[in-house]
């Protein structure tokens, strides 16, 4: 190990201990165009992401944003408290879209989903401290409800288990015995099921439209494995943190054509919690949990 590398490690360690900021490319961003360029460099799908006027130059949504003090298109904070500056960007991309760029140092940046998509309606993220976002949002219970009359709601979110989830001041600790997750058949959306026992034994049934993200190879059939410790611990931790037994049994978006899923958790000597979710977006915590199950199809050594 070179003396220069050791010196860099010592400087970084000192900055973290002393509370000094560790500057990266996010700290240098000063304009909407610079942020748009960064997003495009991370994901080419963001070519049309426009930070110009995400809530419009005038109108109802702009009035709400202004009243909440959300007057800029991007903000910086350290959401995961790792000493590096993260980025929150509010742009126009097939409607109002919110993007988070998490910063893991040495210019290692990762796009992270913030909102639950159109199911959440129009969202207004306000940073209330350096690690928490107050997510104000307008929802539409059905097609007849006008957005101007829908109530303004909010949730306090923190970055945990790889995504933004509802803050819980008193997480529970349940004895989770089995986790089962299954998606429905819907157009070309992935249809699969995964079950995991408390001893980490897992089964994966790939029914239709499951493709490996790295090579686009179709996956179909029945598989099994011993789940990796990292993913198993993260799943159990997230379930406990969101206090899954306290969640509703049914969630649904207000339209009639979408993907659906069922989550079933057996815990505490045979108790069962079953959640059906039409739209896969019941809460921020559930949305993150579903993402983890989708990822399990590819990040395990299935046989």
* Domains and their CATH numbers in the chain: 23-166 (no CATH), 176-299 (3.30.1560.10)
pLDDT top residue among 275 and 281: 275
* Placement of tokens 């598989």 in the chain: 223
In angstroms, the first-to-last Cα distance of the chain is 39
Q: Give backbone dihedrals phi and psi of 275, rounded to 5 degrees, phi first.
A: -125, 125
CA dihedral 76, 81, 175, 284 (to 10 degrees): 0
What's the pLDDT band for 118 if we cut at 50, 70, 90?
low
Which pairing describes strands 132-138 and 122-129: parallel, antiparallel, or unpaired?
A: antiparallel
What's the pLDDT band for 5 if we cut at 50, 70, 90?
very low
Which pairing describes strands 271-278 and 221-226: parallel, antiparallel, or unpaired?
A: unpaired
In DSSP terms, 132 is beta-bridged to: 129, 158
pLDDT at res. 9: 46
pLDDT top residue among 137 and 270: 270
17 membership: H or E segment, kind and range: helix 3-18
How far are the Cα atoms of 71, 87, 194 from residue 127, in angstroms, in the given order? Answer: 12, 11, 36
pLDDT at res. 178: 98
What's the pLDDT band for 7 if we cut at 50, 70, 90?
very low
What's the pLDDT band for 143 if we cut at 50, 70, 90?
very low
Tell me the average pLDDT of the chain.
88
Contact call for residues 281 and 117 (beta carbons, < 8 A): yes
């Amino acid at each position: 190990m070179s003396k220069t590398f050791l010196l860099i490690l010592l400087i970084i360690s000192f900055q973290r201990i002393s509370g000094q900021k560790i500057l990266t490319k996010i700290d240098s961003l000063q304009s909407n165009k610079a942020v748009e360029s960064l997003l495009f460099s991370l994901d080419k799908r963001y070519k049309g992401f426009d930070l110009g006027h995400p809530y419009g130059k005038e109108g109802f949504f702009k009035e709400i944003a202004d009243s909440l003090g959300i007057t800029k298109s991007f903000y910086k904070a350290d959401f995961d408290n790792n000493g590096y500056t993260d980025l929150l960007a509010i742009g126009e991309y097939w409607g109002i879209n919110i993007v988070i760029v998490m910063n893991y140092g040495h210019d290692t940046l990762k796009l992270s989903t913030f909102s639950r998509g159109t199911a959440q309606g129009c969202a207004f993220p306000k940073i209330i401290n350096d690690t928490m976002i107050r997510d104000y949002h307008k929802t539409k219970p059905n097609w007849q409800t006008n957005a101007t009359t829908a109530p303004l709601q909010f949730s306090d979110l923190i970055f945990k288990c790889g995504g933004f989830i509802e803050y819980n001041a008193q997480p529970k600790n349940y004895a989770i015995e089995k986790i089962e997750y299954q998606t429905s058949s819907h157009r070309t959306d992935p249809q699969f099921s995964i079950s995991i026992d408390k001893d980490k034994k897992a089964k994966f049934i790939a029914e239709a439209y499951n493709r490996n993200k790295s090579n686009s190879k179709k996956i179909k059939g029945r598989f099994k494995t011993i789940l990796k410790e990292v993913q198993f611990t993260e799943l159990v931790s997230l379930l406990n943190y969101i206090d899954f037994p306290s969640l509703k049994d049914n969630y649904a978006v207000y339209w009639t054509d979408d993907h659906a899923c069922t989550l079933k958790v057996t815990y505490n000597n045979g108790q069962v919690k079953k959640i059906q979710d039409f739209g896969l977006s019941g809460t921020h915590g559930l949305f993150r949990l579903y993402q983890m199950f989708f990822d399990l199809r590819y990040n395990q050594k299935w046989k």
